[in-house]
Structure formats: C-alpha cells, structure tokens
Structure 1
Amino acid sequence: MSGANEKVKYGRVAVILLAAVVVIAAFVLFITMNNERINEQNAKYLQGSTEQSARRIDEWMTDSQTEIRLLASMYENTLSSAEEASIDGIENLAVYTKFDYVTYSTLDGTTYDDRGQEGNAQDREYYTQGIEGNSGVCAMGESLFYGDLSVIFYTPLYYEGEVIGVIAGAYREDSMESFLSTYFFGEQTNTYLCSRDGAVVAHSSASYSNDVENAQDLYFEGGTSSDISRADLEAAFYNGTSVTFDYRGSAGSGMAYVMQLPNYDWMLMRTFPSTITDAMTARANIAGMVFVGLVALALVAVAAYFLVQTIRQRSKLLSESEHATGIVNSSLALFRRFAVIDLAHNTYEYLKDDGIKDDLPRHGEYNMFRYYWQTRFASEEDAEAMKVALTPEYIREHLTADVPYLHLEYRLADPETGEVSWNQASMIPLTRDSEGTVQSVLMSVQDVTDVKEREIETRNALEDAFREAERASKAKSDFLNSMSHDIRTPMNSIMGLTAIATMYLDDPERVKDCLAKITTSSRHLLGLINEVLDMAKIESGNLGLTEEDFDLPETVESLLSIMTPQINDKKLELKVEIADIQHEHVVGDPMRLQQVFVNIMGNSVKFTPEGGTVSLRIKELPSRIKGSGCYEFTFSDTGCGMSEDFVKKVFDPFTRANDSRVTKVEGTGLGMSIVRSVVNLMNGTIDVQSKLGEGTTFTVTVYMKLREGDEHDLSRFEGLRVLVADDEVAACEAACELLRSVGMEPDYVLSGDEAVEAVRRAVDEARDYVAIILDWKMPGKSGIEAAAEIREIVSDDLPIIILSAYDWTAVEQEARAVGVDAFISKPLFRSRLIHVMKGLLEAGDGAEAEPVSEYEVLAQSDFSGHRVLLTEDNSIAAAIALDILGMTGVEVEHAENGRLAVEALLDHEPGYFDFVFMDIQMPVMNGYQAASAIRAAAQGEGLDGTTIDPRPDLAEIPIVALTADAFADDVARARAAGMNAHMSKPMEIELLVKTLKEWL
C-alpha cells in the first residue's frame, strides 16, 4: 500500500516538476520573446521619432534659409547706393526674424552684428561662400562674437547685380540644444546634428551630449540590436543612408538611429538609452515573475491566467472587428446599393439595397434583376444602352484580365415623383475561371447627380463660350466686309478728285475745291484707320493715356472746329452750354478726351436728319477726389435714336444697328467701344439714354487733375458795363454770371433789335457800355446786322464782339467791315473772355485775326538761319516733308535711315544741325536705335561699340519723332530712347510750326 502511495507521490512530484519545468521554460521563452518585442518596438519608435524630427528640422532649415534670403531681398530694395549698406538698416528688418542674432559682412570681411559688436569673418565659411554669391547653411564651432557653437544661415547682399556683402542669421548653442531636445517615456535622450564625416554640428540640451565630438565614436561592436560594422557605419554616414546601431558612451549605452536630412547634406542621429529598454523589460519581467508565482501556486491559476488572456484577445479581436466593420459601413454609406452577381449561376444578391421597394427581392435570378431595372431608366436611350451593358456577355467581354473595373452611367426616374437622378454603376471582378473569364462581379451603385449637374453646367458654359466666340468671329467678319466698303468710299473719292484736279490744272478754283475735298476724305479715311488701330490696342491691353497740361476751352474749341463743317453741311442747329466751370486748366490726355467727344458728337451728326439739333452741355460737378475736378459732358441730339435692345450692346465692338435709316452711314462699329474703353481708363463713367425716333443723350463724367491757371489782374474790369444779346435766356444768364465773376456789370437782351435800343438808351442816359457782345445767329436781326446799326450809334472805340458756336471765317470780312472788333467761340469760357476783353480794352486796336489756312501758317513762319536733319526712308514722305519744311525758311538735309543720320551728325562739326526729325520704322537702324546712338555719342560711344571723342552737343540737340506710330506707349518709348518730343503722321502744319518754334 505504502509502495503504491509512494508511486503516486512520486508521480505527483514528477508531474509538479514537469509542470514547473514547463512553466520555467515558458517563463524563459516569454522573457526572450518579450525582450525581442520590446527591442523591435523601441527600434521602430526610435526610427519613426527620428524621421519626424528630421522632417521638422529640414523644414526649419528651409524656412530659415528663406527667411535670410527674404531679409536680404527686402534690404536690397531699400538701397540707393552700395555705400549705404550697413548693419543699422538690416537691424530694423532683422527684428522680424527668428534668429538669435544677425550679422552683416562687408567685402573686406569686416563683420557687425545687430548688438553693436564688430569683428572680421574672412576665415569663416559663410563669408567666403557668401562673397562668391552662394547661399547656404554652415556650423561654426566657435562663433565670431560669442565663442560658442552656432548654426549660421547666410546669403549674399546684391546691389545692381553685384555682391556688396554677406548677411547671416545665426542660432546659438542654447537655441539648438532646446530645439533638438527630445524625451522618450519621460526620459531625455540625445539628439545630434552631424556632418557627413560624423562630426557633431549641434546637439540637444542633455548635459552628457556635450562630450561627443564625432557620432562614430559612440559605435559599440558588441551590441545585439544591429550587426553592422564600424566600416558600415562610416559608409552610411558618407553615403547619407539610414542605419541603426548600438552605441556606448560615458553616460551609458543603447540604440542609435542615423538618417540624412531630406534636403540638406547633414545627418540626424538620435539615441534610445538602454535604461529605458531595461526599465520596460524589467516591468515586463516582473509581470512574468508574478505570472510564474501565480502558476506555481496553482495550475488552476495558470489555466485561469490563459483563460483571461484568451478573453482579452477575443475582446481585442471583437474590437478590431467592430472597428473594421465601422470603416466598411462608412465606406458603404458612399454607395446606395451593393450587389453580388453570379454570372455562372445567373443569380444576384443585394448586400445593400437603399432606394429599392419591396417589389424586387434581395436575391434571386439575374434575369429578374435585369428586367426590373430596364423599366426604371429615365429614357429609352438609357434603357437600350443599359439593356446591353447588363448582359453577361457584355460584362465578360469588357472585364478582361487587364481591365480592373467597368463604369456605367445612367439616369433613373422615380416612379412616384418622376424625379430624375444620375447614377454610376461600377462592376469589379470577384472570381475568374482558369482562362481568366469573369464568373462573378460586385456591382456598386453611387448617386452622382450633383457631379453630373456640375459637369453639364460646365459643358453648357463651354458651349456658350464657343457660341460667343463664333458670334465675335462673325461680327469681325461682318466688320471687315463693312470696312472694305467704308475705306474704299473715301479712297475712291481721293482718286477721283485727284483725276479731276489733273484735268482742270488751268482752273485754280476747281483745283482748290478738289484739294479741299481730298483733305476732307483723307481725314475721314485716317479716322477710320485710327478707330481700327485703337480697337486693336484695346483688345491687346496696350491702350494707354498720357498726362499733359492743357486747357479745357482749347479742347472744346477744337471739337467744335472739327464738327462745325459737318453740322453746317447737314443744316443742323448746334447748341452749346456751360455751367459752373471753375477750373479750366487741367492735366490729362487731351487727344483721347477729344477722341471721345468726336466719336459721340460725330454719331449725333451722322444719325440726326436735316433740321435737327445737336447739343453739348459742359458742367463741373463737386469732386470727391482731392486735387481733381469732376466734369460732366452731356451730348444730346434729336436723331433717329436707338432701340432698347441695341442700347444694351451699343458699346460692343464691331456692332452697328441693323436699321434701314443708318445702313448708308459710314463707320466701323468701333467708335463707341473705343469711347467706353477710354472713359474707363480715365476712371470715368458713360451713360446712354435713347428712344427710337426721338433722339439720344450720352453723359460722360471724367475726373482730371487740376493745375494752377494764369493769374489775371481784373481790377481794370471792375464796374464796367457790358451788354449781352442772345436769343436764349440760359445763354444770356450764363454769360452775365461769367461777366460778374470778373467784376463787370452786365445787362442782357434777347434780340438784335433790343440790343440796338439798349445801346441807344444807354447813350442818351450817358451810361455807356464799354463793350457789346452779340450772338451771331438770332431770329430777326442777326448779330452782324445789329452790330452795323450799333456802330452808327457809338464811336469806333467801343468794342463789339460776335459770339458764336459756328465757324465765322466765312463772314469775318463782312463783320469787320461793319465794325466788329473780335470773335469769341461758344461756349463762353472765363479765360477766353478775359483774354479778349483785355486785348480790346487795354490795347484798343481790336483782336488780331489768326491765320485761317495752313498756307498762311507756313507763310508767316520764318526759321531761316537754322538747319534741320530729316531722317525718313520713304521717298514720297521725304519729298513732302522737304517741301513743307522748305516753306518755313529752314534749311533741310535728308538721311535715308537711322545709321546715316548718326553718321551725318558725327561727320559735321558741333552746331551744324539745330534740329533732328526722326522716323521710327526704318531699315538698317530704326529711329529708337538712332536716337539712343546719338545720345551715346555725347559720352564718347560711337557706332558698333567703337570709342570716339565725346560730342557733348549731341546730348542737347533736339530730336523729335515724326512717325506713324502714334499711340501713347509709342510716345513713351520715343522719350525713353532719348527723343524730346513726338509728332504723329500725317504731319499737322500747326503742330509742326509750334514744334519748330518751341525748339528753335
């Protein structure tokens, strides 16, 4: 019995010992696996942390490099000379950077920092590299001013393309230590920034990291985390590859990970101390020892422990499963339906069936599936297309081995509401047979209504843009057809009149009439060409404005002188009125402003029938812009007017009304488009009101800078009585208000007869008028007839002035014969009134008549004793210019291109030529090049880069462009090339004489 018990006892002991051996073996295995797991986990954590820091450091270095370059660029923009560069100017900008300090090094190496210290950096890498024009980053073991480790970002400072110094921004050792500091599980670790040879450039703030000068010195060959050799480590540093190795230093051992910064030639090394690993392992081993103790107490506890572990693992799996299920459900939310289609067995099964009623089962025969959906498509076209696309044959044919999926788009109609939605079905292969043929697919359906609607909107917008482009193209084609007629009309007139003049050479009056008509046709043709060229400038964005001083009265008078002949030809009535004009002297582009006026008033004249009225009203409004005046110009007519539809597109280019009343009127259809563009450039506005058959009103409002006008002594006018006669009350009141503003005491009457009676009464009462102002055209007795009677009443010393909006040259001789002393154009501007009144009252001999023809302008000009160089390659243009210039008495020599002109100036002594007219578009050397060469010769630079004796006179000789390049940017380019002024072709006689007077 005892033997049996002994056997049982030994058996139990053996079982216990076996269990203990198993437990111990399990414990050892657990510790080994746990250590490996912790080491592997820590290695990955170390690698991930280092890579994250490397990206952060790389971004910090890139930002710092950008910051120092931006600092240099901002400072370069403030320099007006190289000598102006100093640390003081840089210091004001450096306060906005993150650097610990900023330095500036001059060309000789003298270096200043923003704290007032001075040193010499000739032996520093950042100085030598910066002076050579390089930007970059370097590390200094001993900084110039503080003797500590600094990371320095540098860049050269330029002035006019030359390096004049080096700007550097530095981070000191404390900043780098703080920036690189890292903690793992609450314990600080070492981080080193190294060069490719392993030398430590910067390190974290851990005190024991200061002892390491080269990262490779930490290598520990007996480690277990890596099996690399020292040579492998050195190669990794040299090649910039990532590597993990074991290290041992004065402060302990552990793992280290090295990698190159993404965009810099530096390496980042971070350590993971073994103390952290040991602590983690110890904690895990203690848990293992507790586990062994529990197992040793009872196998039940061991079983319970494994049971608990199993439960935990199961919970984890369940949690992961729920997480995965949540992800799948979230993905499924993007799709309305999922179905598995088994093509081999002709079945389907819905995994998700949103939007399907109970009339389609969740699974069944695929034929039923296809039939059901064929009845839901929104159109027969979609139904027919999808009927084919859903067949097994189509799916197998198109889902080949190299096609990952099929996309099918279609529209579905809701059977209850009729609402149509876009859907996209995607078919993904699930199984294939041995030959690669699809056996089953997963079909997902997604609502893409929003996407398709946006796509349709985009396509419609593109189609609209295409149609608009076609419309513009057709408009331009129609425009060219119209222009062919409009240009040929004046051209035919010119050719025909030239032939007529040739046949009547012995009839001066007939030739003179032909020449006058040729001039009119030429100007009309030039206007058509200018409109086309202006439109080309507008479309290319090159239309610009000049800024020059001009007088508003001159611009208005010029407008009226241009339009009056056309107004007279059509027997139209012209009304001009001004109101509250306080500032007549302005700064702007008078040519463009007049172009606006001529286009608008020209249309009024064109489209107003005989006997109609064309009106212009000018008013100065309160200005909201300091230093500028606001002017409103209102153009009205009683013409044919425009329809509401055409008013909306009147400013579109190449647009003309399709109306039988205007089809015979010549024009480009560009005038109003140019008007709007010019007004917009002037920051102004243009408004149009029109009614078909009643007329049109354009209102243009522009702002122009004000300039000081001439100051006049008006004391001579104080208290003088003046009589005004005009048949319009508004015109009389405006004139009287103007006279009162200069100190006079005006009266007005509304007819010629009343004017005669008023003068006779004033003489009888001994209250004589000092001047009489009569409107030319008044009902009943005209201004000239009234003047004749008044002159019989008063003495010859009393000035009589005719006021008119028309060209008085035709009646000037008759008017002066009856005693008229002067003429003033409507509208009556203050400056014009003062000028004429001063001339009449102070000089007493009447106003001198201005020349009335271009011939008289030339005949009255005498520039003899001066020599002009004309540069012109066109022989006809040169011959015309030579004849015209010869009539002024000036001596002219001709050069056929710019190079010959420069050679002519260089070949003659200083002062031989007094003036140069320079064409622009010429062979060999154009006008811009020639003007630049002339100015360069003043400094001793000859043609083709040769050196000559300086010719200072060529820096002063006037050069004026005489060219067909007539736009604002052409004027600016001429001045930039060294020319003094610009004249556009065709040559205007008055401008020519004015230019010669100005420079000779």
Structure 2
Amino acid sequence: MDSEGKKYWLSIAAFVLVFVAVVATFATFMQQTSNRIVSQTDQYIADATQQTAKLVSTYLQNAQMDIETVAALASESSQVTNVIEDGEWLGIVGTLAPFDTVEFVDAQGDLLTVDGNNVNVADRPYFAKAMEGQSGIETVFDSRLTHENLVCFYAPVRRGVDGPVIGLLLAHYHESRMTDLLASSFFGYESSVHLVLPSGEIIASSDGARAGDNLLEEAYATHGQGEEAARQLIDAFESQKDASFSYATDQGIRSVCVARVPATDWMVVETFPEVATANMIDAANAGGWRALVVIVIVFVGVIVGIVIYSNRKHRFFTREMRDRADVEAALDKLAGRTALVNIPLDHFRYVTGPVAPDGTTPTEGTYEVMRDRIVSMVVGDEARAEAADLLDRDHLLSRMRSGEDNVRFEFQVDRDGVLKWEDFNFICVARDSDGNPERLVYITQDVTALKRREKQMQQAMEDSYRAAIAANNAKSDFLSRMSHDIRTPMNAIIGMTELARMNEGNWEKVDDCLGKITLSSNHLLSLINEVLDLSMIENGRLVLVSAEVDLAELMKEMETVFAQRCLESSLQLELSMVEVRHPVILSDGLRLQQVFINMLGNAVKFTPPGGTVAVRLTERPSRMEDCSDYEFVFADTGCGMAPEFVEHVFEPFTREHDSRTEHVEGTGLGLSIVMNIVSLMGGTITVDSKPHCGTTFTVHLELRHASANGVDAEGVAVAGEQDGVNGRGEVLKSAGAAGPSESVADKQDAESGPSFAGRRVLLVEDNELNSEIAQAMLESLGMEVETAVNGQEALVAVDVHGPSYYDVVLMDIQMPVMDGLEATRRIRALGRPDAATLPIVVLSANAFTEDVQESKRAGANDHLSKPISIKGLAATLGEVLGR
C-alpha cells in the first residue's frame, strides 16, 4: 500500500476514533444522567423515610400518652380494682381509645380481655417493666390470643395516684393498622416500607407479608449481587444512624434508606421502586439516543463524502493539526513543561512550556544541554550537586534498565527570579528488543502549593506535639500541687493521731490532738470540694438554678458565719447596703453564697489582727427592664498583692509565696471558682491591690428583681430593717473586739442537737469502719441501731418487720448484691402503706447536684454527703423525723 493509501485509511480510522469518542461521550453523559436520577431517587427516599420515621414516632408517642392517660384515670378511681376488672369498662375504653384492643393484666400476669378470654403474660418483658412502675412500647410476635404480630402499649395501674402497682393496661395495634400506616408510593408505584427492631426483626411492613422476618439475618446471608448494600444495611443498624444507598438488582437500580425512629431504637427501612427509577432513566435518556442516531448518520455521511470527493490530504492535514493542538493544549494544562528525549540520537525537543522572551532557553539539543539547564536552576549548592548526579544520563538509564518506567525528583528551582518547588518526571515510552530505554518523555509540574500544604501539616503536627507536651506538664504540675496540698493536712492528721496514742491518759493533750485532727480533716475536705467544683466548671457541668434570693438575708448570714472568726482574729467586720431598693432578686443563692464565703474567707485569712474586712452592696439602675446592676465590694486592710501577681490571681492553684502569706493555708482555687461563677452569671470581677495596703475585689452582676412585693409605695425597701444592714446602707451590726454577735450565740446553742431516744434506725453500710462510726454517732443521739451490709438485706429487713418498726433508714449507695438506690426504689414499691412514707436518708461520697437529684428520684427523703458529722446527721434526722 502506497503512502497516499495509508494516509487515506489513517484519515478514515481517525474519523472512526472520533466517532467512537463521541459515542463514548454520549454514553458517559447518559450514565451521568442515570447516576443523577439515582441520586435524586436517593434524596426522595431519604426525605420520605425521614417523614415516615417522624410519623411513626409521633403515632407511637401519641398512642403511649393515650394508654398512660387511661391508666392514670383508672388509678385515680376509688374502686380501681372493680373498674378495671369490669369487662364493660374495658369495652368502653376499647371503643373510645384509638387502639385495636385494650386489656387489663393483673399482678399475677393474667390478661383479662373483653370477651372473657384469659392468658398469662407474666413472662413477657413488658409485664416486669410495668410492675416496676414503667410504661412503654413493646413488640409481640405471634400473640397468644390472636397469633398476630402486635405493637403493644402498656402503662402501670396503681391503687391510687401514688399507690402500689396492681396491674397494667395493655393496648394493641394489629398488623393491618401498622400496614396502612407504612403504605407509601412514588409516581404511582408502591414502595416497600418496613418498621424494624434493632435486632433486625420486622415489626410491620407495607405489604403485610414480611412481618416477623429478620432483615439482618437476610443481609448476613447475602452474597454476590447486593452484598455491599447488605453490609451498609448492617452498618446502619449497628451504629443506629441514618443511611442511604443504592444497588443493582435484576429489575433495575434500587434505592434504600434507613432512618431511626425518634424517641425509640426502632428503624424504618424504605425502598424506592426499581421500575420507577428505570422509567425515569429511560425518559431522560430518550433524547440522548435520538441525538446519537443523528450523530451516527452525520458521521456516515462525512465518511461517504471523503470517499466520494477523495479529499484525503485536506482532511488529513486538518485533522492532524487539530489533534496536535488538542494534545499540546492538554499537555500544557497538565504539566509546566514537556519534552521528548531520544536516547539513541542523544536529542531532546521541548513540546510544551513557556520559552524565555530573549530566546536564551534552548528548545532542543543534546541531553547534556537539557541536564545543565535543569541543574543550573536548582537552588542550593548541595541540592545542585545532588541534581547533577541524579540527572546524569548513565545513572538515569541504569535505573530504567532495572525496570523503572518513571523516575521522579523534586527540587526547589529559580525560574526567572521566582522560587518554586517542581516535580521532574522522566517516563520511558519505548524500549528496544533488549529492554533498553529508547524514547523518554520529560515532564515538570509545579508542586509549590503541595509542598506548602505539607509544611503546614508538619507545622500542625509539631504544634499538636507541643500542645500535648504542655498538657502533660500541666497534668504533672497539677499532681505535684495536689500531692503537696493533700500531704500537708494528711501529715497533720497522721502525726496528731500518733501523738494522741502516745498521750493516752493525758486527756487534755488528747483533746488538743483531736481538735487539730478535726481542723486538718476539714481543710482536706475543703480542698477536695474545691477541686470538684473546679472540675464541674471546666467540664461544663455546673448549672445555675434560678430562685428568689434575699440579699439582705444573705448579708446577715455572712455576718453570722464570719463574726466569730473575725472576733478570734481581732478583726473588724463591716457589712453595708447602699440604696438597695430591690433586695429580693432571682439568682442561684447557693452560688452567690459560695462567692461571699470565698471572698470573705480570703480577706479574713490575709488580714492581720487589728485590721478591717468590709462588704458593701450597692444597687444601680440598669438598661434592662426589671433588672438592676448590683455591685458587691469586698475590701480588706490586709497584706495586699504584688502587681505582677495580680495578673495571675484568678488562675487555678496560683498563690503568692512570700513572708506575708507563707503561714496561710489554702489551695489557690477559691478565686478561680469565684471568677467562673461570676462569669456564668454574666457578671464581671476586678481587683485592686497594693502590697501592705490591702485588697479590694469588685463584683458586678446584672440581676432580675424577683417581684415588687419587697418595696413600699415609694419604692424603698421595707424588709431591710434586720440585723446586719438596712435599706439605707447603714451598718447595723459589726463584729470586732466587742464580743460575739447574737446570731453566733444562737448558732452555738443550736449545735447541741436534738435527742432521738427510743427511735430505731436501720443503718445500711457495707464498709465495716464507716458502719462502726455511723453506729456510734447514732447511739450517741439516743437511737437504737440495727445494721445491714447491702441493699438486699435492707429490703428483707423492712419487709419482714411490721409497719412503723423502723423510724428511719440510713442507706449507703455503692454496695454489693444490691445498691442503695435500687433498694430504695424497691422499698417504696412494697405493698404496705408505710413503705411510701418511711423516711430514707441516702449516705454517699457522691456530692454533686446530680447525685442528690438521683437520690431524690429514687425515693429518698434526703441526701447526706460523706464524710458526715454528728451535727449534720442530727440536723438531717431532725428534719425527716419532724423534730
């Protein structure tokens, strides 16, 4: 075949290739259209499944509220047993309530139906939960009455509102109702919707035939087609998270969505009909097929035209130039520079890439010319020498002879004064019969941005490492400080204990040792409480509780608390209120009290004898309606602080160590806790201090007035004329060298505590030493003490003895066999009337607010945090026993 013939057939082949490319392009376009439609169906099914899940959740929650309401109404009836066992009443409830059936189950598990059929369901999980006072939703497969799959709603029935549980009301939804609820369609095609348990069992199905089947078992058994979808379904159930996916079936593309039903652990699984997806894809691609037919006809016509007119050369050159331009444009976008290297001819030629305006950059020549040009641009003498070795012709060819087709280097280069990182690639595209490289393609790419990202990632890793080191150092510093602060009081406790043993018989010395042990123990407990408070604040667990607070009463309480301490330290204590027109506000009284105690405690500790500690409360107008700006000023004439320490005064574990403060005990946490509490309340705190001149802390809080009941017609406080301060800001009482205040004397009189002679207490404590201490305290109060070592023994003791045998139960929480909270719940659930009113006080080392609330929810009357004192124990017993 001559040269012209070859060119002719090459032109035909080129057109055929273009035709194939166009067909491939259209096929790709139609595939993308199909993918887009599948993506849309995924979104449709996801939205529909979410709506179905919400609908099912709302439907179930409304039904549960209905059965709980009916059970509550039955419990309030004075003849509750007669009412619920009356078949007519159940019939009426079944007619009015939105359920298919409503039955009553008595305390023995016998299910009483309207038509008189009885079955025992004591082994059903919902029976045990309802008898414990719970209500909820359960699924029953193959019920004993109808042999159907049912959704059951249950609620306990009590004898009276707070009485014992005497049975439960049980309502059902049959399969048909759930089938109707799940029915769904898309574009006239029914979809498949399943309501499924976490275990994979289908509760209900839109087609009514799949109830009872297990989707997860089917998924685990799936192999081949659909295996990936089965795995995604399993992952969605195991993670309890929503998921959408598609997979091919014999009928087409199936889109599936899994969504969790809110407020339950059930899942909704819904599929988009394959036939609907197929119809949508066919409709979208119909136009593409028509266009493809037109293109085929056009290309056939062009080829026929070429054959008829024999315009081979023109077509060839046109196509050749166009193809070259396309290739060069593509290479230009892909790489910065591209060159062809012919090894046997020792020649290179740049195909793409910018050329210097002055023509100094050679566009072709020997390989050495190209290598020298590249090496000359490399930045750095060492890098330049390395580049010269790596780009050596023999070195490069030896690497490619070993089987490498692509040899890469990265260097920083200087291109016309611009520093860049470039990736140099030599790609072998042809070898001789012996496997030696013949032709290479040289490509460079600008990787400056990539190197910058790598550097940023490396910097980020270094920053993370330094942060981890800092965190570890902070932990070590914290442990060191805590070790010192804990060992100091522990040393005193251990030492004074040994001294007391050494001085047996010398009661004066022993009493002195015991007093110092008590002082050190209180200091240790204070340290633990402050660390726990700081931990709650840093973890975001500190929650403010808003209630009415009387600031005048709070000031009076602070005077009562600190008067004796100021007297013993020869300090003058002054409290005043200035123009306080709204003393009753809404805030967290306990946290405000904590601020006062920390601030006044510091002032008293760091003020020498003869000094003054003062608190001034001022009310100022606020821009917010029904609010005022309250300024609390805590001032003392103590040792003051150095300016460099003032900047760190609110940091945890920070204390100024010098001759003025080294004798004062403390953890360095009080001011940090105060600052965090004030911040949580939306306020500010500032400090002004100078060495030997005293310190003044100023707290500003924007507080809302509780009501207008605390002011007279002119707006002046009428409840301020009390001990401590009045509404005009006058100091009514101060504590100093004159003697103790009346409130302190009253407090000392109250510490003697009440007597509980003849009262019997059940002490539940598994720790032998703690039990011995508590028993001794109770016996010192005149009480008869019986003990139990776990919740199970306590429950048996209360159950065995008759009503009113125990006057009170002291219950530890963490115990073997049965914990204290569970024992408390079971005591309250006993069928005796006195079990609901028997005073129960929880004893626990858990002292957080949520721990106290958990005790109250379990049925306890009060919560005492360990370590317990005899005064606190007597006060709590007096409250729960009505003394």
Q: Secondary structure at the match of 1:71?
A: helix
| 2:787 alignment counterpart | 894
Written as runs of structure 1 = structure 2, the 5 A alignment for 1:730-769 is 735=726, 737=728
The C-alpha deviation readout for 1:576-630, integer Å capped at 9, x for no partner, is 4433444445565544444444444445555666766654333445567777776
Q: Secondary structure at the match of 2:490?
A: helix
Rate the CA distance shift 1:276–1:586 in 2: closer, same or farther, 3 A.
closer
Match of 2:851 in 1: 970
Taking only aligned residues, the RMSD between alpha carbons, in angstroms, comes to 5.6
> Does the aligned pair in 1 maintain the 2:580–2:729 contact within 8 Å?
no
3-state SS of 2:728 partner: helix
- Residue 332 of structure 1 aligns with which residue? 332
Equivalent of 1:69 in 53, 67, 73: 53
State yes or no: 1:925 paired with 2:855: no
Alignment partners' CA distance in 2, 1:496 and 1:648: 38
Contact 2:533 2:673 in 1 (8 A): yes
The residue type equivalent to 2:275 in the other structure is M
Letter in 1 for 2:178: I
Question: What per-residue deviation string (whole Å, max 9, x for no partner) do you get for residues 294-336 of structure 1?
Answer: xxxxxxxx989933987996799479648835xx536624643
> Match of 2:364?
363
Check whether the contact 1:405–1:428 (CA below 8 A) recurs between aligned residues: yes
User: Superposition pairs for residues 17-416 of structure 1, below 5 Å?
Assistant: 56=40, 59-74=43-58, 76=60, 81-82=65-66, 108=100, 128=175, 131=178, 137=184, 151=190, 240-241=249-250, 259-261=252-254, 263=256, 264=272, 266-267=274-275, 306-307=308-309, 317=319, 321=323, 324-325=326-327, 329=329, 332-333=332-333, 335-341=335-341, 347-354=347-354, 359-380=360-381, 382-392=383-393, 395=396, 405=406, 407-413=408-414
Q: Which amino acid aligns with 1:874?
A: N
Q: Partner letter of residue 309 of structure 2?
A: L
Would you say 1:883 and 2:776 are equivalent positions? yes
The residue number in structure 1 matching 2:218 is none
The answer to whether the Cα contact below 8 Å between 1:621 and 1:631 also exists between their aligned partners in 2 is yes
Distance 1:379 1:531 in 2: 60
Provide the C-alpha distance between the structure 2 equivalents of 1:521 and 1:316, rounded to a whole number of angstroms.
Answer: 100
Per the TM alignment, residue 916 of structure 1 is displaced from its structure 2 partner at its CA by: 1.9
Match for 2:362: what amino acid?
P
Deviation at 1:903, TM superposition (A): 1.6
Q: Kindly tell me: are residues 322 and 358 of structure 1, through their superposed partners in 2, closer, same or farther at Cα, counting changes over 3 Å?
A: closer
Matched with 1:955 is 836
Residue 984 of structure 1 aligns with which residue?
865
| Aligned residues of 1:647 and 1:688 also touching (Cα < 8 A) | yes
Q: Which residue is equivalent to 2:444? A: 445
Which of 743, 746, 757 is 1:850 aligned to?
A: 746
Note if contact 1:376-1:414 (Cα within 8 Å) is conserved in structure 2: yes
Is structure 2 residue 499 aligned with structure 1 residue 493? no
How many angstroms does 1:406 deviate by? 5.1
CA distance in 2, matches of 1:386, 1:488: 65
Q: Is the 8 A contact 1:133 1:156 kept in 2?
A: no
Distance 2:333 2:30 in 1: 39
1:288, 1:338 → 2: CA distance?
A: 34
From the CA coordinates, give the structure whose radius of gyration is larger. 1
Report the Cα distance in structure 2 between the residues aligned to 1:353 and 1:45, rounded to whole angstroms: 32
After superposition, what is the alpha-carbon deviation per residue over 1:186-223, rounded to whole angstroms, capped at 9, x for unaligned?
Answer: xxxxxxxxxxxxxxxxxxxxxxxxxxxxxxxxxxxxxx
Which whole-Å deviations, capped at 9, do the CAs of 1:850-889 have from their partners, x for residues lacking one? 141xxx5454513345332222223333333233333444
Report the alpha carbon displacement of residue 967 of structure 1 after superposing the two structures with TM. Answer: 1.1
Q: Distance in 1 between matches of 2:99 and 2:534?
A: 54
Contact between 2:613 and 2:634, CA under 8 Å: does it hold in 1? yes
1:705-854 matched pairs, under 5 angstroms: 707=706, 735=726, 737=728, 803-806=733-736, 811-812=739-740, 823=742, 849-852=745-748
Question: Does the CA-based 8 Å contact 1:863-1:890 persist in structure 2?
Answer: yes
Q: CA deviation at 1:532?
A: 3.0
Extract unaligned runs of 5+ from structure 2. Answer: 1-21, 70-96, 102-147, 149-172, 208-247, 257-271
| Distance in 2, Cα, partners of 1:288 & 1:475 | 76
| 1:907 CA drift (Å) | 1.4
Task: Supply the distance in 2 between the matched residues of 1:285 and 1:353 (Cα, whole angstroms).
Answer: 37
- The secondary structure found in structure 2 opposite 1:804 is coil
Read off the aligned partner of 2:733 and give its amino acid letter. L
In structure 2, the residue matched to 1:999 is 880
Could you report, residue by residue, the CA deviation over 1:317-359 in whole angstroms, capped at 9, with x for unpaired residues? Answer: 479648835xx53662464333445566655443344486754
Aligned-partner residue type, residue 859 of structure 2: G
1:66/1:702 CA distance change after superposition, 3 Å: same
Please state if 1:868 is matched with 2:725.
no
- Shift, 1:494, TM fit: 2.5
Distance 1:676 1:920 in 2: 33
Q: In the alignment, is the contact (CA less than 8 A) between 2:339 and 2:441 conserved in 1?
A: yes
> How many angstroms apart in 1 are the aligned matches of 2:771 and 2:482?
29
- Which AA in structure 2 matches 1:959? I
- The structural deviation recorded for 1:965 is 0.7
Residue 933 to residue 585, structure 1, CA distance change in 2 (3 Å): farther
TM-score for the superposition, normalised by structure 2: 0.64
For the residues of structure 2 that align with 1:662 and 1:334, how far apart are their CA atoms? 72
User: Shift of residue 541 of structure 1?
Assistant: 4.6
Total equivalences in the alignment: 697
SS of the equivalent of 1:267 reads helix
CA contact (8 A) 1:579 1:618 kept: yes
Q: Point out the more displaced range, 391-400 or 705-714.
A: 705-714
Name the aligned partner's letter for residue 468 of structure 2.
Answer: A
Take 1:723 and 1:303, find their aligned partners in 2: how far apart are those partners?
Answer: 114
Do residues 909 (structure 1) and 802 (structure 2) align?
yes
Name 1:227's counterpart in structure 2.
none
Cα distance in 2 between the residues matched to 1:80 and 1:954: 29
Code of the aligned partner of 1:324? D
- Cα distance between partner residues in 1 of 2:840 and 2:542: 25
Corresponding position of 1:531: 530
| Shift of residue 544, structure 1, vs aligned partner | 4.3
Once residues 307 and 495 of structure 1 are traced to their aligned partners in structure 2, the CA distance between those partners, rounded to angstroms, is 115
Worse-matched range after superposition: 553-562 or 880-889: 553-562
Q: Counterpart in 2 of 1:766?
A: none
Task: Note the C-alpha offset of 1:381.
Answer: 5.3
Deviations, residues 919-969 of structure 1 (Å, cap 9, x unaligned): 2222332222222222233xxxxxxxxxxxx22322222222222111122
Q: TM-score, normalised on structure 1?
A: 0.57
- C-alpha deviations, 1:696-731, integer Å up to 9, x for none? 55444456676569979999x999xx999xxxxxx9
Note closer, same or farther for the CA distance 1:670–1:870 as it changes in structure 2 (3 Å cut). same
CA contact (8 A) 1:64 1:153 kept: no
Quote the residue 2:130 is aligned against.
none
Cα contact 1:910–1:953 (8 A) shared by 2: yes
2:465 aligned residue: 466
Alpha-carbon distance in 2 for matches of 1:507, 1:267: 99
- Structure 1 unpaired stretches of 5+: 1-37, 86-104, 110-121, 141-148, 169-238, 243-258, 292-301, 725-730, 740-774, 776-801, 813-821, 826-848, 938-949
Return the offset for 1:804.
0.9
